[in-house]
Amino acid sequence: MPETGTMTQDGGLPVRPPARVVASGSGRRKGAGLKTWLIRALLTLAFAYLCWLWFLYVMQARILFPGWSMPFDEIQPPAGTEIMTIDVGGGEQTQGWFRLGEGRDAAHPGPLVVFAHGNAEVIDEWAWLLDRYHNRGVSVLLPEYRGFGRSGGEPGQRELVSDAIEFLERVIDRPEIDQNAVIYHGRSIGTGVVCQLAKHRAPNALILESPFMSIAAMTARYLAPPQLLKHPFRNDEVVASLDAPILILHGVQDSIVPIANGRQLAKIAKHAELIEFPDAGHNNMPVEDRAYWWPVLEFLRERAGIPITVTPIKDEADQAKTRSAP
């Protein structure tokens, strides 16, 4: 008789059943440990991303407006400049400079340019460089940003645009201003200001220097969702819908706002001209040179139909360099 619990071969010899292989506890622990590690890694990344989003949300004004409370070299405004102010609360004010174009009066009204500067600049830096406009009979309005230069308050899209609107409304109805020859000229973040200003009152010509499509497009590289932005500055929407002629000036070497932004804006605009400066970056556009000003003035005269003299005035660049010295 075979032993109990055994199998028999043909010859009747007992055969033990095959041994059962049982997985060791170490293998199971290894798989569970890897899973736990992956979960912890994902949670850590998610927490780090949430911290990054929180930082961007809280600090975006400081990031977008680095000139906020930045020390600056104070320069006296040119002779004949009218200093305007807006109360911004807390006993503080923001400034705007207005300079009537040379030779303009109620009997001889002329064009007006509203100029919005970059996010690390102040109006002092541009007052004399904009002589190219003033000397040709173009009145110049320079709204300062809240928190910049002499101005109090905190900057933001809503605040900067509302201030620009108020300053514009103070001068636009003056008899010295030709309301059919209003120009908006913005640089860098200032392109966002003048584009938003164009939604309030369309200009007769728009000049965008080193412009961006939108802040959302600029911050996508930092994984910031557009819903997070307090200051979206949608230049793309304004440019695509504006009927006025647009001049876009952009440096090919621009690493802050890549030239792809300017090229794309030119494509979606109804009436746009793009001028590329092969050797210029973001902060070294040739603003004192004929290569910069002649295309600007010719655009205003030929494309926008604004009566303006293109012929250069003698020693303009030297005058600007001398006058802008502290």
pLDDT tens-digit series, residues 4-35: 555 555 555 565 666 555 555 566 666 677 88
Return the higher-pLDDT residue of 46 and 142: 142
Q: With respect to residue 24, please indicate whether it lies within any of the assigned structural domains.
A: no
Q: How confident is the model at residue 325 (pLDDT cuts 50, 70, 90)?
A: very low
Residue 141 lies in a domain: yes
Host domain of residue 226: 81-323
* pLDDT tens track for 95-139: 999 999 999 999 999 999 999 999 999 999 998 878 899 999 999
Position 236, amino acid: D
SS (H, E, C) the chain: CCCCCCEECCCCCEECCCCCCCCCHHHHHHHHHHHHHHHHHHHHHHHHHHHHHHHHHHHHHHHHCCCCCCCCCCCCCCCCEEEEEEEEECCEEEEEEEECCCCCECCECEEEEEEECCCCCCHHHCCCCCHHHHCCCCEEEEECCCCCCCCCCCCCHHHHHHHHHHHHHHHCCCCCEEEEEEEEEEECHHHHHHHHHHHHCCCCEEEEECCCCCHHHHHHHHCCCHHHCCCCCCHHHHHHHCCCCEEEEEECCCCCCCHHHHHHHHHHCCCEEEEEECCCCCCCCCCCCHHHHHHHHHHHHHHCCCCCCCCCCCCHHHHHHHHCCC
Question: What CATH number has the domain bearing residue 178?
Answer: 3.40.50.1820
- CB-CB neighbours of 201 under 10 Å: 14
What does the pLDDT average to over 245-264? 97
| Joined tokens for residue 102 | 């040379």
Please tell me the predicted confidence (pLDDT) of residue 10.
54
Mean pLDDT of 150-162: 95
What per-residue confidence (pLDDT) applies to 42? Answer: 85
The whole-number pLDDT of residue 162 equals: 97
What's residue 320's pLDDT? 42
Q: Which of 130, 158, 272, 169 is nearest to 211 (CA)?
A: 272
Residue 115 lies in a domain: yes
pLDDT averaged over the chain? Answer: 86
Most confident of 5-9, 48-52, 278-282: 278-282
The pLDDT of residue 206: 98
Residue 288 pLDDT more than 90? Answer: no
Rounded Cα distance, 96 and 155, in Å: 14
**280 in any annotated domain:** yes
**pLDDT tens digits along 293-307:** 999 999 999 999 998
Report pLDDT for 179: 95
Q: Token digits for 204?
A: 């007769």
Q: How far apart are CA 188 and CA 29, in angstroms?
A: 57
Contacting residues for 200 by C-beta, under 8 A, at least 6 apart: 161, 165
pLDDT greater than 90 at residue 216? no
Percent of the chain residues topping a pLDDT of 70: 86
Look at residue 40 in the predicted model and tell me its pLDDT.
84
Tokens of 65: 């407006």
* pLDDT score recorded for residue 295: 92
222 located within any domain: yes
Structural domains in the chain (count): 1
pLDDT for 279: 95
What is the average pLDDT across 247-253?
98
pTM of the model: 0.82
Please say if the pLDDT value at position 145 is more than 60: yes
What pLDDT, on the 0 to 100 scale, is given for residue 258? 96
Task: Judge contact between 100 and 171, C-beta under 8 A.
Answer: no
| CB within 8 Å of 152: residues ≥ 6 apart | 88, 90, 91, 92, 93, 94, 146
Residue 28, domain member (yes or no): no
For residues 178-193, give the mean pLDDT.
Answer: 97
In a domain, residue 61? The reply is no
Q: Decide if 2 is inside a domain.
A: no
